């Protein structure tokens, strides 16, 4: 991590612009993730897993609406500090709920082998582009807490 002192030499407008770029990268990643999840859920639904697919499609619909709200905020250059934390909880929460539904409807140990578990580190990398160390730490600890709760 660069130290906060290295940011002091940059004008605040530059830092804010780069943070908004990081927020937009996260939003675009969410759109990509939504598209991939819809494709895999469609395959799951066609394969006969209707109950599991309904839960997951519900999550995707919620995720779409929340991402639209974050997208509009970023396009209007509205980026207060709390919005980064809300989006971190949104991302970590959606991945965790997906893992929970996998364990609930398939196998209790599915959480330990689900491919969606590997989205957590990708989210951490995306949050480094927000240039906010406390937000990154918050997202890591949120993921650790939420992932642990899945086991109980």
Q: Exposed, middle or buried: residue 36 (CB in 10 Å: 0-12, 13-18, 19+)?
A: exposed
User: What angle is formed at CA 129 by the lines to CA 140 and CA 101, rounded to 5 degrees?
Assistant: 40
Task: Select the more confidently predicted residue: 33 or 49.
Answer: 33
What tens digit of pLDDT does each residue of 9-25 get?
778 788 888 888 888 88
pLDDT tops 70 at residue 2: no
How crowded is the C-beta side of 122, counted as CA atoms within 13 Å?
13
Which tens digit of pLDDT belongs to each residue from 45-92? 888 878 777 888 888 999 899 999 989 988 888 878 788 898 899 889
Q: What's the longest Cα–Cα distance across the chain?
A: 58
* CA separation for the pair 77, 85 (Å, rounded): 16
Euclidean distance between CA atoms 58 and 147, whole angstroms: 20
Are the CB atoms for 36 and 63 separated by under 8 Å? no
């Amino acid at each position: 991590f660069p130290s906060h002192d290295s940011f002091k030499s940059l004008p605040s407008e530059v830092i804010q612009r780069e943070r908004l770029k990081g927020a937009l990268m996260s939003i675009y990643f969410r759109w990509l993730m939504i598209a991939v999840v819809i494709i895999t859920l469609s395959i799951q639904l066609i394969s006969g897993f209707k109950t599991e697919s309904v839960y997951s499609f519900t999550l995707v619909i919620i995720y779409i609406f929340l991402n639209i709200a974050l997208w509009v905020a970023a396009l209007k250059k509205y980026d207060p500090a709390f919005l980064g934390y809300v989006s971190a909880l949104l991302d970590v929460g959606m991945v965790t709920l997906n893992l929970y539904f996998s364990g609930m409807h398939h196998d209790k140990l599915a959480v330990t082998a689900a491919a969606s578990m590997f989205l957590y580190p990708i989210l951490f990398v995306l949050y480094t582009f927000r240039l906010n160390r406390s937000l990154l730490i918050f997202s890591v600890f949120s993921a650790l807490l939420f992932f642990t709760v899945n086991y109980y």
